[in-house]
Amino acid sequence: MLEKIVAKTEERLIEAKREKPLEDLKNEVLKMEISHNFPFKEALNDPEIAIIAEVKRASPSKGMIAEDFDYVAIAQEYESAGASAISVLTEPYFFKGSNRYLKEISQNVSIPLLRKDFVIDEYMIWEAKLLGASCILLIVSILDIVQLKKYLDLAHELGLSAIVETHDGDEIRTAMNVGAEIIGVNNRNLKDFTVDIENSINLRRCVSDNIIFISESGIKTKEDVTKLKENNVDAVLIGETLMKSDDKKSLISELKNG
């Protein structure tokens, strides 16, 4: 599945570059005010545990999650509920996301946004900045170490944070070697889609305390969040559980405060 997503992303890039060449995109971004306050990273410094709430219409493993998808209203509800940051899916084929979702959400909330997409080219980092993101996602399993370092440095130059996503100890070592300041552990096995939050707990000891540690996927209950917090996890990224809730505000309060 990962290979299919990357292949589709490559197709999207060809079309995007045709519509707006990289140099034109860079010129637009460089007209923006670029600060290096890194609001996404700062938002994760929560004395409890930071909640990254995801605006997510569908996933490859679950199919359509939200037929009724008022993405701006969902993001505003997350913000009012006390979410630390919001993750917005922009991958259109497998997650039914859109760049439009990110752009419009950025215009209607004040908390920082993660562009949740499979970054495989510097073009997508410049694009994320233009769309209003404060953070991008770099996945160790689809990038070599040269790409990781290059993309991480570019993100930081543009005032963007980057979650460097890992699945095992070897990938964590790679993430730390390129200077990752935020490391995410995906609890979902991308080969068979099984999920186990123990993956984050087991790998937490591999990450230095000065690096922000995020647990991703399979987090459903306040007991899950409490367990992760007790094991020094700094933040959790929650998508499906929140998207399926009829009262997202109450659920975020319950998850965050127990």
Residue 258 is predicted with a pLDDT of 58
Structure tokens at 197: 């939050």
Contacts of 123 (CB under 8 A, 6+ apart): 13, 16, 17, 22, 25
| Alpha carbon 181 to its chain's center | 14
pLDDT digits (tens, 9 = 90+) for 106-162: 999 999 999 999 999 999 999 999 999 999 999 999 999 999 999 999 999 999 999
pLDDT digit string (tens) for 3-20? Answer: 899 999 999 999 999 999
Q: What is the pLDDT of residue 47?
A: 82
Confidence band for 67, pLDDT divided at 50, 70 and 90: confident
Q: What does the pLDDT average to over 197-216?
A: 95
* DSSP 8-class letter at 207: S
Give 95-101 contacts, CB < 8 A, sequence gap 24+.
95/56, 95/57, 95/58, 95/59, 95/60, 96/57, 96/58, 96/64, 97/56, 97/57, 99/127, 99/131, 101/55, 101/71
Which pLDDT tens digit goes with each residue over 54-63? 999 998 878 8
| Residues 55/86, Cβ–Cβ less than 8 Å | yes
Which residue shows structure tokens 């995906």? 186
Domains of the chain listed by start with CATH number: 2-29+39-257 (3.20.20.70)
